[in-house]
Amino acid sequence: MIRIGILGDIGSGKSYVANSFGYPVFNADLEVSRLYKKNKKVFKKLKRVLPKYISSFPINKNEISKAILTNKTNLKKIITIVHLEIRKSLNLFLKKNRNKKIIILDIPLLLENKIHNKNDILVFVDSKKTEINKRLKKRPNFNNKLINKFKKIQLSSSYKKKKSHFIIKNNFTKKSVKKDIKHILNKIL
């Protein structure tokens, strides 16, 4: 099985690129949303460590945001609880897809949390800052302070770019992304 890890800035189009490969995708952000909506064990743990912020099940993302913005140690508490569950979900995904030729890892903190293997093929999604900012502002729950908090726990884009085997220039057109993906797949298959 070939594992392809997708790297890039918040809002650079990582999920779009990941889904464009046409292979099974593990999307950590979707998994986190699913945990907040369906996992009572995660709710109980978060309520225990953040009783002022987490009030009812399913977990409201606005409560999570408020906890993160109020106190910088809260983000670490949330990460400690949530990432353990995300790793379990990832292991299930890997087991389920073990016979697939390729799987795609769309995990924002892939390098930071040392989730990648040394044999993973890393693809950096490179997008213009102005385009990223335009796209982020269109998100329904856009919060610049929150985005900056998340950026602080991430490795720099230049580091991720250097670590990557391939770079996809995402100018937010299907044609250019498809062409770059085809090139990558031709190289690795």
Q: According to the model, what pLDDT value does residue 136 have?
A: 76
Q: Measure CA 8 to chain center.
A: 9
d(CA 144, CA 32): 20
Q: pTM of whole model > 0.85? A: yes
Q: Write phi, then psi, for 153 (nearest 5 degrees).
A: -90, 0
d(CA 3, CA 100): 10
Greatest alpha-carbon pair distance for the chain in Å reads 52
Q: Measure CA 12 to chain center.
A: 11
Which residue is associated with the tokens 């990582």?
14
75 token code pair: 């983000």
Strands 2-8, 25-27: pairing kind: unpaired
Closest CA to 123 of 112, 134, 147, 107: 107
d(CA 90, CA 108): 13
pLDDT per residue rounded down to tens, the chain (189 residues): 999 999 999 889 999 999 999 999 999 999 999 999 999 999 999 999 999 999 999 999 889 999 998 988 998 899 999 999 999 999 999 999 999 999 999 998 898 888 888 899 999 999 888 888 777 778 777 777 778 778 787 889 999 999 999 999 887 677 889 999 999 999 998
